[in-house]
Amino acid sequence: MKIHEYQAKEILRGYGIPVPKGRAAETPEETRKVAEEIGGKPIVVKAQIHAGGRGKGGGVRVVSSPEEAEKAAKEILGMTLVTHQTGPGGRVVRKILVEEGVEIKEELYLGVVIDRSRECPVIMASREGGVEIEKVAAESPEKIVKEWVEPYVGLRPFQANKVGYGLGFEPAQVGKLRNVMTGLYKIFCEKDCLLAEINPLVLTGGGDFIALDAKINFDDNGLFRHKEIATLRDLNEEAPLEIEASKYNLNYIKLDGNVGCMVNGAGLAMATMDIIKVFGAEPANFLDVGGGATVEMVKNGFKILMADPAVKVVFINIFGGILRCDTLARGVTEAVEEVKVNVPIVVRLEGTNVEEGRRILRESGLNFTVASGMQEGAQKVVEALNKVRG
Amino acid sequence: MSILVDEKTRVVVQGITGNEGLFHTKQMKEYGTKVVAGVTPGKGGQKIEGIPVFNSVMEAVKETGANGSAIFVPPAFAADAIMEAADSGVSVVVCLTEGIPTLDMVMVRKFLKEKGTKLVGPNTPGIISPGKCKIGVMAGYIHRQGTVGIMSRSGTLTYEVVDQLTKKGIGQSTCVGIGGDQIIGLNYVDLLELFEKDPDTEALIMIGEIGGTAEEEAAQFIEKHVKKPVVAFIAGLTAPPGRRMGHAGAIISGGKGTAGEKMEALEKAGVRVVRNPAIVGSELSALLKRA
């Protein structure tokens, strides 16, 4: 789960990590009020969306009075911000973060993630801050200092010092950096994060560190023990069909093509997208109704598929194991009868009771193209697509 | 032969009294798996499906000689269940649970290193040595005893490939679902080592997917240590970056973990990589005929 910058900064503040004075606002008037509270200049007004590259997209302004802040807020609030991370559709800005400007002497990167190969958290730090760390890793990996943390022991002070000296700082700065690092690592562990990142971490003229931007991604699997974190979810940042799908415990991800896919199991769902592409078409979505899908899940999944106007053909690819194909076939026919369907449907069923399942589909009187095998299914999808296109 | 589980495996089911646990206990028994005990704290002394239930794994192991475990325990308690099984000396632990917090698994892995227990999963369909033993939720009948070893991060995609093989009359020595999470027990490299040593495994199928670098590590290992032919399919060539594709571990992050990179690494290691998931079985069949 992702959260906004202003929410991440609140969490940092709670762990003693210095962040600029300020808070979130939803209206130009409120923006002005916050700017007045801050009481200095410059003031920075930042669009809050779950994507990076906001500055380049015009979502960040530096102003010198509460009046100017109000004016900037008027322009930013409600705008559709397009960045390299939002996709061409962009995101509508509903909140802004208003905060004091900070004097920047140097920009650093500081992050904590899980190293999957070493199976433990790793601290990553670099003096090449303010740019994406992936870029630094690709172009000049020697500029990143890494420190792996033994989870039972936690981040030891000597390790944080190692990072600080590794970056080439003097003892006074190393001590301050250690406090930031210790706080960030604590957040990572105590809140079940997958990523906790301060970028840039700014070194001020006065020799202090302050978190200018922050990004925290939480482990969805850990949310059950962090109710306070779960409430930070912003549904405005998610695609409506994806929210709808998550209500039914379905995994749906919208893509750019026009072949709607419904599959049981994540691996098979990805493989289905891939085979569609092998035969020259493009998947409209990823939809996993679960390795052990029920009739109800199939029905709900189908409704979500049909709500996407881009879908021109539907490909249902189910491998029934414990779940029987006849049960599934009933689910699909019920769903098709219930939802108004005006696109061709190719169904590929395999597994337990497959003959019975195929018979149900054939005898339903509905317009299914039944395929045996994934490959035949994908071929029939492409044929159907060509017919639709005329 | 086979790897990890066979006719000598004696299974304790942790969470046997839950819906899932009970259903799959019956299925496993029906397949011929020796399910010798169940564990549900507080329900010790009962019998379920003729299987004695104990309060702890330690007790179950002591009384029944269980050496394998199947875990059907909710995510919040699953890490503890894995550690309990390891602490009780169970040698192969299969954790079917999906949704265990990543940091719990980080702790579990450290704990297991000192115990010598082999963990399959979590978030796996399980492991099956056809005709001998099944610890998991896969449909047993689609398998056939034979000489192909399968390793996969996925469930139904594995069934798909097994089905392709079985329909061609090609059987399997052992099929292992390694799990779809970020932090898992046995990985490709561990299994490649076991399969390479197994005299009854002639060829291998590796089913990978986007996210992490397990496939790249497997490629390095194959290049140096594996003589048996390997066919691989990597799911997610069309997956968008930055999105978690169903499995917790299936995500391209920061441009790393793409299917393309993995395919390239495996091809460089001499693995036959197929881009069409429907022809994994026929490719393997062709490889076997050539050998």
- Per-residue pLDDT of chain B in tens (291 residues, 90 and over written 9): 799 999 999 999 999 999 999 999 999 999 999 999 999 999 999 999 999 999 999 999 999 999 999 999 999 999 999 999 999 999 999 999 999 999 999 999 999 998 989 999 999 999 999 999 999 999 999 999 999 999 999 999 999 999 999 999 999 999 999 999 999 999 999 999 999 999 999 999 999 999 999 999 999 999 999 999 999 999 999 999 989 999 999 998 888 899 999 999 999 999 999 999 999 999 999 998 876
Q: What structural domains does chain A harbor?
A: 22-100 (3.30.1490.20), 106-230 (3.30.470.20), 240-389 (3.40.50.261)
Domain ranges of chain B: 10-120, 138-290
Residue contact A132–B254, C-beta within 8 A: yes
Please report the number of interchain residue pairs, chain A to chain B, with beta-carbon separation below 8 angstroms. Answer: 179
Give the three-class secondary structure for B60: helix
Closest by Cβ to B243, choosing from A253, A320, A373: A253
Q: Which fold has domain B138-290?
A: Rossmann fold (3.40.50)
pLDDT of residue B268: 98
Compute the mean pLDDT over every residue in chain A, rounded to the nearest whole number.
Answer: 93
Give the residue from chain B lying closest to A272, CA to CA: B277
The token pair that represents B90 in the structure block: 């169970």
| Tens digits of residue pLDDT in A62-112 | 999 999 999 999 999 999 999 988 878 889 999 999 999 999 999 999 999
- pLDDT, residue A298, reads 83
Angle at B268 between CA B267 and CA B274, to 5 degrees: 5
Active site residue A197: yes
Q: Does B180 touch chain A (CB under 8 A)?
A: yes
Inter-residue long-range contacts of A11-15, CB under 8 Å, 24+ positions, other chains counted: A11/A187, A11/A191, A11/A216, A12/A183, A12/A184, A12/A187, A12/A198, A12/A211, A12/A214, A15/A183, A15/A184, A15/A186, A15/A187
Give the closest of A134, A219, A224 to B102, CB-based: A219
The string of pLDDT tens digits covering residues A310-366 is 999 999 999 987 678 888 888 888 888 888 788 999 999 888 888 899 899 988 888
Which residue on chain A is closest to B177 by alpha carbon?
A267
Q: Which residue in B has a C-alpha nearest to residue A273's C-alpha?
A: B238
Q: Which of B31, B110, B238 to mutate to test the interface with A (most CBs of A within 10 A)?
A: B238
Checking if the pLDDT of A291 tops 70, the result is no
Chain B residues touching residue A264 (CB < 8 angstroms): 156
pLDDT at B169: 96
Considering CB atoms only, which of A116, A132, A265 is closest to B213? A116
Q: Report the C-alpha gap between A25 and A64 in whole angstroms.
A: 17
For strands A120-126 and A144-148, give the pairing.
Answer: antiparallel
The pLDDT of residue A292 is: 67
Contact A274 B27 (CB under 8 A): no
Q: Do B245 and A269 touch (CB under 8 A)?
A: yes
**Choice between B205 and A291, residue whose per-residue pLDDT is larger:** B205
- Kindly tell me if the per-residue pLDDT of A390 is higher than 80: no
Q: Is the CB of A351 less than 8 angstroms away from the CB of B139?
A: yes
Question: Do the bridges between strand B51-54 and strand B47-48 make them parallel or antiparallel, or are there none, so unpaired?
Answer: antiparallel
Angle at A90 between CA A87 and CA A91, to 5 degrees: 130
Give me the CATH code for the B10-120 domain, please.
Answer: 3.40.50.720
- Looking at beta carbons, which residues of chain A come within 8 Å of B28? none
